[in-house]
Structure 1
Amino acid sequence: MRHLAGLLFVCRLTGVLVSILADVAYGACCVDDFTARALSADFLVHYGHSCLVPIDVTAGVRTLYVFVDIQIDVGHFVDTLQTNFEHGKRLSLLGTVQFLSALQVAVKHLSDRFHVSAPQQLPLSPGEVLGCTSPFLGKAADTDAIIFLGDGRFHLESVMISNPDVPAYRYDPFMKTLFRESYEHEAMLAARTAAVHQAAKATRWGLIQGTLGRQGSPNVFKYLEEQLEAKGLDFVTVLMSEIFPQKLALFPDIEVWVQVACPRLSIDWGSAFEKPLLTPYEAAVALEVVSWQTPYPMDFYSIRPLGPWAPRHPQHQPQQTKHSRDTRGCSARSEIPLTPQTDSSPSSTQPCSLIPSCSKGSSSSAL
């Protein structure tokens, strides 16, 4: 809010008309350049997320991404990992964009004790994870542990879905606690395959194009339309900013829905909907265009996705601009300074305490 107040103050001094877009912004996919253009705006400021939508492709509106860089006690983070993991372990450090600077500093300080890396899934920055896009780390034997730096599970779950056989840990920088995390892979896969099998029998489909920011992809939407037409299936198309069970219940004749918006909506909350709610990838499987992938792909915004269910698949990107983030990541974040950080907290140098046993039935256990 301090940055917003400063921006508004400057705008008042210069006589600039400011409109605050109050629509919800869940993540980097929600940059609202289309609404800004509809308001005849000359300049759009998007606060808090990385530039998933490059500034050279926003809809005729100059765009400024204001990154959030949260300063944490990197020393405690490093000490915690050194206390809890054996020398020589292969660690993959990942996190949300707010902690990437701290993560890169930690990689530097841990490299003399561990085989440590910050895996990258282009167009994201090294170590960056989205809820729908995270790197596949290869065979479980190649990585001993995933270390996630962040204060929530949502983004970490994306990494765990991509790498079901790699142990995952989460360091909460505010609690200064390391957690052992788990994910119910079997339950998730059972629910999603059941939805796909039910959809494969359907004859009346509904296609949802998400309109919340840049969540929806016209190219993926067109691809799905073509697949349904090739199968001779009836379908209706719907534009929707946010997808709720009550809205879809207004279409009782639809047997299966496909949403081109947020894959995690189907994965996490698909059971809340009366009819199957598929991701574009799951729809491609149900239509027998592709086979079921193992592990479940979390590559929605990757520039090298496994199939055309993703917006940046080559068949949807005939040309790449010379300065596109697709090959370099955010230009403003192409190089993260490896400057040591400090924390004024009295407990900044205290190592993580060890708890010998874990709580049963919990998906997060403090170490």
Structure 2
Amino acid sequence: MFACTIADIIERFTDALTVIMGDVTYGACCIDDFTAVALGCDMLIHYGHSCLVPMDQTTIKTLYVFVEIAIDSNHLAQTIRLNFPDDRETFRETLLDSEQQASLIPAGERIGQGRHLRIEGPDASAVDDESQNPVGTAEQPSNPPRLALVSTIQFVAALQRLKEDLTTSYVAPSTPDGPYSNGAHGDQRPRIWTGAYDATIPRSKPLSPGEILGCTAPQLADVDALIYLGDGRFHLESIMIANPDVPAFRYDPYSKKLTRERYAHQEMRSIRDDAVQTARKSIDIIAHSQSPAGELTPRIDEESPVWGVILGTLGRQGSFKQLQAITSQLRSSRTSIPYVPILLSELSPAKLALFNPHIATFVQTSCPRLSIDWGYAFDRPLLTPYETAVAVDKAIGWMSKGEGESEGSGVYPMDFYAAGTPWATSRTTATY
């Protein structure tokens, strides 16, 4: 949208020539230094995303221009205080327990007064009585609720401001602003919780504190809820998948709405497990079609299934070294799996349907969310690097039954770019 204007400014005030790259950019992983070099460019300017691909790893001089979006911080902080009790027990009773009870209402039954889903802390009829509970003079709760604050890179500065606002007691301004000033019944204003919260900003290195990606989010320890600052659900779903037991809330800075968000964890895990099990069945077929292990050069039946290993070519989505790590894993697995390398900029069910039917399973390095969100739409399994490791028994799956756990209760990790994980280290070492 702004590319043409920026290009005009550069060419008007400098002698440089500009090239506007028209390929789609889904995120920080789509920075396309390879195409820039092929076009004969001397420098690449990338707007809006963090340095997911470090400048010392790009093949051209790269300038990352960060974008910070200013929001109404007062409205954000007061909205949370209006809805989240500042005492941990009260928080759980009024926000989480009552929500669970409301979810038991039979489907199709009319929800009458007092039986609607709500995220407010106190009762709607409870308004401040200045003589009983004046704003700013409430006692500090001894056990405040523990909140994890996350966002996209554009709002991390606002996230730091929010933490400061929540970890200190609230003092009413002399000139009220934000949602607290908009009482619906004259002087009867909704109660605002004034105590300090135990708010933290988690981090999944190498990302910035509080920053999450659609494929990378930290696992949270001992928190009562997570609050996501941003529009849309793509990034939020990442941390919800990684923390299925943590209630999630989203504050949209554009619509200024705080909403309770949910995710079909069991359905997602089941669908992805079906893909892994189907891939394992193809391995069994391959094992029966191979020649005896004693032969120096194993023979593969022409009709035997093979796997297609896809290297994403949209920007830096795909990593050749990660592709090498995957193919090495396939060769060294208990049953050596034949494969064919495939280069694709974007994946779709229609494209993969064109490949020979004897390609039984696809492995893609572009983005885990392609498999998680859209895997059901493909007629053959579309595995992520992590799911591939599970399929060949090189990693523990999310459906495995641990001690004291029920089957399928494991956590599906969202750590595609997290430092120290096999998927991250393979981009530099070409091995797992």
Q: Same fold (TM over 0.5)?
A: yes
Quote the residue 2:141 is aligned against: none
SS in structure 1 opposite 2:159? helix
Quote the residue 1:325 is aligned against: none
Which sections of structure 1, spanning at least 5 residues, go unmatched? 319-367
Cα distance change, pair 278–218 in 1 and its aligned pair in 2 (3 A): same
Quote the residue 2:389 is aligned against: 284
Give the whole-Å Cα distance in 2 for the aligned partners of 1:314 and 1:83.
45
Q: Check if 1:34 corresponds to 2:147.
A: no
> Out of 424, 428, 432, which is 1:311 matched to?
424
Instruction: State whether residues 304 and 313 of structure 1, in contact with CA within 8 Å, keep that contact through their aligned partners in structure 2.
Output: no
Paired AA for residue 166 in structure 2? L
Paired AA for residue 161 in structure 2? V
SS in structure 2 opposite 1:94? strand
Quote the residue 2:377 is aligned against: 272
Give the whole-Å Cα distance in 2 for the aligned partners of 1:63 and 1:160.
33
Give the whole-Å Cα distance in 2 for the aligned partners of 1:317 and 1:172.
40
Over 6 Å off, 4+ runs? none
Computing the radius of gyration from Cα coordinates, the structure with the larger value is 2
Deviation at 1:311, TM superposition (A): 2.8
Give the whole-Å Cα distance in 2 for the aligned partners of 1:176 and 1:4.
31
Paired AA for residue 110 in structure 1? L
Give the whole-Å Cα distance in 1 for the aligned partners of 2:159 and 2:262.
22
Deviation at 1:41, TM superposition (A): 1.0
SS in structure 2 opposite 1:82? helix
Deviation at 1:228, TM superposition (A): 1.4
Q: Check if 1:241 corresponds to 2:354.
A: no
Give the whole-Å Cα distance in 2 for the aligned partners of 1:49 and 1:152.
16
Quote the residue 1:92 is aligned against: 148
Deviation at 1:11, TM superposition (A): 2.4
Give the whole-Å Cα distance in 2 for the aligned partners of 1:250 and 1:176.
45
Give the whole-Å Cα distance in 2 for the aligned partners of 1:97 and 1:3.
20
TM-score normalised by length of structure 2: 0.70
Paired AA for residue 322 in structure 2? V
Q: Check if 1:250 corresponds to 2:306.
A: no
Quote the residue 1:349 is aligned against: none
1:205-231 deviation digits (Å, cap 9, x = unpaired): 110000101110222211110121123
Give the whole-Å Cα distance in 2 for the aligned partners of 1:247 and 1:143.
43
Quote the residue 1:295 is aligned against: 411
Deviation at 1:13, TM superposition (A): 3.1
Deviation at 1:312, TM superposition (A): 3.0
Q: How many residues align?
A: 311
Deviation at 1:8, TM superposition (A): 2.8
Give the whole-Å Cα distance in 2 for the aligned partners of 1:16 and 1:291.
52
Quote the residue 1:338 is aligned against: none
Which sections of structure 2, spanning at least 5 residues, go unmatched? 87-143, 169-195, 287-305, 399-409
Quote the residue 2:69 is aligned against: 70
Instruction: State whether residues 272 and 372 of structure 2, in contact with CA within 8 Å, keep that contact through their aligned partners in structure 1.
Output: yes
Give the whole-Å Cα distance in 2 for the aligned partners of 1:109 and 1:243.
43
> Out of 283, 307, 314, which is 1:212 matched to?
314
Give the structure, 1 or 2, with the largest relative contact order (CA under 8 Å, sep 6 or more): 1
Give the whole-Å Cα distance in 2 for the aligned partners of 1:169 and 1:36.
40
Instruction: State whether residues 303 and 313 of structure 1, in contact with CA within 8 Å, keep that contact through their aligned partners in structure 2.
Output: no
Give the whole-Å Cα distance in 2 for the aligned partners of 1:78 and 1:102.
10
SS in structure 2 opposite 1:255? strand
Identity, % of aligned positions = 52
Cα distance change, pair 3–224 in 1 and its aligned pair in 2 (3 A): closer
Higher mean displacement: 163-172 or 289-298: 289-298
1:141-196 deviation digits (Å, cap 9, x = unpaired): x1000000011101000000000000000001111110000000000000000100
Tell me how large the CA RMSD over aligned residues is. Answer: 1.6
Give the whole-Å Cα distance in 1 for the aligned partners of 2:425 and 2:212.
17
Quote the residue 1:189 is aligned against: 269
Instruction: State whether residues 321 and 427 of structure 2, in contact with CA within 8 Å, keep that contact through their aligned partners in structure 1.
Output: no
Instruction: State whether residues 42 and 61 of structure 2, in contact with CA within 8 Å, keep that contact through their aligned partners in structure 1.
Output: yes
